[in-house]
């Protein structure tokens, strides 16, 4: 732990951080706030100077909390043995390259390397195998952006239990904390005064790959949650003719109820922001082309591959893709007809806003239900034991999707550890039963008014499909058998028995295949 000052002896730092971009720098300062002495390395020496300067500025010129190192060899020799090194570098090839360089720099088989990037989960599995006899490869996915990294992120650690025993105390220390009584985040934003009480938002997820899978799904849910909020905004903006400031006020009101979440909070702030150049609402001058780094896309791909219906998450990815076709949309807007729009008058507006709040809530329940259902499917495929009540708990603070609502999800999995879908939990089933009429009215309004709300509509279809005992997949199976002799099962025979009918001559007996 920290020295009181003076020059820095070798082998005394508790942890090394490689990569001092926004996330790495803030994780290093967070570790230092919790009493760990941190050796810091980056290929860009200016970043090393910057973190040292920031630390000395905050903690005095003789602070030794941050130890600058300029080579990987120096990094290794500055650390206690066995060493712990945290990587905060771009996902993909850079992680493999730095691991190789660390081997060359002399790390040994007892050292732990922790990858904190948004790595593809299957890369993490492969890396553990690849580096098995070189060092202990561990991962902790991090959510919470810059502020989270500095004052408490949500962490999803996974890898060998031996490594977790070593790094668990550090990760639990720097994680966001939740008040055990209220389930709400214990906030701080004061350097040097970290939160040390409460429940940490860091729990061991499972073997390597599991943590990054869970983070990937977190991001898929993040995409859906953001898209749903954007659709609520668009309905208020277009169908109700409200200004960004008026919509911000509605979001602030919603943030007092079951929608209370970080994403609603920041959406209100974004809508209230003025453009310093034109003095218009900033949102009106932000180009409507969404970017993405890919984790939501990975979630949708994984949902398709595992056969897990996560259509609201996928719709959120498609919505970003469609937004990116800006020039095509501008041209299409000139030629494609929409409906005649009946104005919603002042008296109807409040009622529509109330319905919209409930529509957003029900849609959000479905998006989260899809995310947990997907994790469940992946866990079965990979042989992971995921503790969904714990996962919901570590998302209550620190991460981008933090919300009061996560406590209800955690409670649902506490009630029934084998819950197949959040929708059938008694609490959520009752919530949707109560609000579904408003949800349907909102989706109908958007259809009639021609305001696209793909995520909300898909969520409603997901709900209606999931609660339907007999879907038209019977007809579909008939079609498949008709043109391709793909066979079908019968409702009155064991499902494993496959039948084919001679469609051109139905008088012939069914064949049991």
Among 126, 270, 292, 324, the residue binding ligand 6PG under the rule CB under 6 A is 292
Least separation in angstroms between residue 456's CB and ligand 6PG is 20
Q: How far apart are CA 466 and CA 471, in angstroms?
A: 9
Least separation in angstroms between residue 218's CB and ligand 6PG is 6
Rank residues 83 and 155 by Cβ distance to ligand 6PG and give the closer one. Answer: 155
Binding to ligand 6PG in span 111-170, by CB under 6 A: 118, 143-145
Least separation in angstroms between residue 219's CB and ligand 6PG is 4
Rank residues 388 and 395 by Cβ distance to ligand 6PG and give the closer one. Answer: 395
> Which of 128, 199, 222, 357 is flagged as catalytic?
222
Binding to ligand 6PG in span 400-419, by CB under 6 A: 400
Neighbours of 57 (CB within 10 A): 11
Establish whether 215 is a catalytic residue: yes
Cβ partners under 8 Å of residue 453, min gap 6: 231, 234, 235, 442, 443, 446
By CB under 6 A, is residue 293 in contact with ligand 6PG?
yes
Least separation in angstroms between residue 400's CB and ligand 6PG is 4
Per the structure block, which two tokens stand in for 144?
């919470």
What is the x/- site pattern for ligand 6PG, positions 434-473, by CB under 6 A?
A: ----------------------------------------
Neighbours of 153 (CB within 10 A): 31
Least separation in angstroms between residue 204's CB and ligand 6PG is 19
What is the x/- site pattern for ligand 6PG, positions 342-381, by CB under 6 A?
A: ----------------------------------------
Per the structure block, which two tokens stand in for 49?
């100077």
By CB under 6 A, is residue 68 in contact with ligand 6PG?
no
Q: How far is CA 100 from CA 72, 75, 95, 97, 131, in A?
A: 11, 15, 9, 5, 9
What is the x/- site pattern for ligand 6PG, positions 20-39, by CB under 6 A?
A: --------------------
199-200/177-178 β-pairing: antiparallel
By CB under 6 A, is residue 174 in contact with ligand 6PG?
no
Which runs of consecutive H residues, i.e. helices, occur in 307-404? 311-324, 326-335, 346-382, 388-394
Lookup result for tokens 């095509």:
328
Cβ partners under 8 Å of residue 132, min gap 6: none
By CB under 6 A, is residue 296 in contact with ligand 6PG?
yes
What is the x/- site pattern for ligand 6PG, positions 190-219, by CB under 6 A?
A: -----------------------------x
> Which of 25, 128, 199, 215 is flagged as catalytic?
215
By CB under 6 A, is residue 399 in contact with ligand 6PG?
yes
Establish whether 390 is a catalytic residue: no
Q: How far apart are CA 214 and CA 219, in angstroms?
A: 9
Supply the DSSP symbol for 341. Answer: P
Rank residues 108 and 146 by Cβ distance to ligand 6PG and give the closer one. Answer: 146
Count the helix, strand and coil residues of the chain and give each as a percent rounded to the nearest 5: 55, 10, 35
Binding to ligand 6PG in span 216-255, by CB under 6 A: 219, 222
Q: Which stretch binds ligand 6PG (CB under 6 A): 35-43, 178-186, 287-295, 329-337?
A: 287-295
* Angle at alpha carbon of residue 26, lines to 187 and 20, rounded to 5°: 170
Q: Which stretch binds ligand 6PG (CB under 6 A): 265-273, 291-299, 449-457, 467-475?
A: 291-299
Least separation in angstroms between residue 287's CB and ligand 6PG is 15
Q: How far is CA 16 from CA 40, 71, 264, in A?
A: 6, 12, 36
The CA-to-CA distance between both ends of the chain, in Å, stands at: 70
Q: Residues touching ligand 6PG: how many (CB under 6 A)?
A: 13
Cα torsion angle, 503, 507, 512, 513, sign: negative
Q: How far apart are CA 419 and CA 146, in angstroms?
A: 34
**Residue of closest CB approach to ligand 6PG:** 143
Rank residues 25 and 76 by Cβ distance to ligand 6PG and give the closer one. Answer: 25
* Contact between 151 and 168 (Cβ < 8 Å): no
What's the residue count for the chain?
Answer: 513
Least separation in angstroms between residue 267's CB and ligand 6PG is 14
Supply the DSSP symbol for 144. Answer: S
Least separation in angstroms between residue 149's CB and ligand 6PG is 9
Closest listed residue to residue 84, CA positions, set 45, 115, 55, 46: 115
Give me the residues that bind ligand 6PG (CB under 6 A), please.
118, 143-145, 219, 222, 291-293, 295-296, 399-400
Could you give the residue numbers annotated as active site? 215, 222
């Amino acid at each position: 732990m920290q020295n009181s000052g003076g020059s820095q002896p070798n082998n005394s730092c508790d942890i090394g951080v490689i990569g001092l971009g926004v996330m790495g720098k803030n994780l290093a300062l967070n570790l230092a706030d919790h009493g760990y002495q941190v050796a810091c390395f980056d290929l860009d020496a200016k970043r090393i100077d910057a973190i040292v300067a920031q630390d000395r500025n905050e903690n005095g010129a003789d602070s030794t909390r941050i130890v600058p190192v300029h080579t990987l060899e120096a990094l290794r020799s500055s650390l206690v043995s066995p060493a712990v090194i945290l990587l905060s570098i771009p996902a993909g090839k850079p992680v493999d390259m730095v691991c190789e360089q660390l081997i060359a720099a002399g790390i040994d088989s007892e050292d732990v390397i922790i990858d904190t990037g948004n790595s593809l989960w299957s890369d993490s599995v492969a890396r553990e195998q690849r580096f098995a006899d070189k060092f202990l490869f561990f991962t902790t996915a991090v959510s919470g952006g810059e502020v989270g990294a500095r004052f408490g992120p949500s962490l999803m650690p996974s890898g060998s239990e031996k490594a977790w025993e070593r790094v668990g105390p550090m990760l639990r220390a720097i994680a966001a904390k939740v008040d055990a009584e209220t389930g709400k985040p214990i906030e701080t934003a004061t350097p040097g005064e970290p939160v040390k009480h409460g429940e940490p938002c860091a729990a061991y997820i499972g073997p390597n790959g599991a943590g990054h899978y869970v983070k990937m799904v977190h991001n898929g849910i993040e995409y859906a949650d953001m898209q749903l909020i954007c659709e609520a905004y668009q309905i208020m903006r277009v169908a109700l003719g409200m200004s960004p400031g008026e919509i911000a006020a509605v979001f602030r009101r919603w943030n007092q109820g079951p929608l209370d979440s970080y994403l609603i909070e920041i959406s209100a702030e974004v809508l209230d922001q003025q453009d310093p150049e034109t003095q218009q609402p900033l949102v009106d001058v932000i180009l409507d082309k969404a970017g993405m780094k890919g984790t939501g896309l990975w979630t949708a791909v994984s949902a398709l591959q595992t056969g897990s219906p996560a259509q609201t998450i996928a719709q959120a990815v498609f919505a970003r893709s469609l937004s990116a076709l800006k020039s095509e949309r501008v041209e299409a807007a000139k030629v494609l007809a929409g409906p005649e729009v009946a104005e919603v008058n002042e008296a109807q507006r409040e009622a529509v806003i109330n319905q919209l709040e409930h529509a957003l809530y029900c849609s959000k329940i479905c998006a989260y239900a899809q995310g947990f259902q997907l994790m469940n499917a992946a866990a079965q495929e990979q042989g992971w034991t995921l503790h969904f009540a714990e996962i919901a708990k570590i998302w209550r603070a620190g991460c981008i999707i933090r919300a009061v609502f996560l406590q209800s999800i955690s409670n649902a999995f506490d009630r029934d550890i084998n819950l197949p879908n959040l929708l059938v939990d008694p609490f959520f089933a009752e919530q949707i039963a109560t609000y579904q009429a408003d949800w349907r009215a909102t989706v109908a309004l958007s259809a009639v008014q021609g305001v696209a709300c793909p995520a909300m509509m898909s969520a409603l279809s997901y709900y209606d499909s999931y609660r339907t005992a007999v879907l038209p997949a019977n007809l579909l199976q008939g079609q498949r058998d008709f043109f391709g002799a793909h066979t079908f099962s019968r409702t009155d025979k064991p499902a494993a028995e496959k039948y084919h009918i001679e469609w051109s001559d139905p008088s012939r007996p069914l064949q049991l295949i």
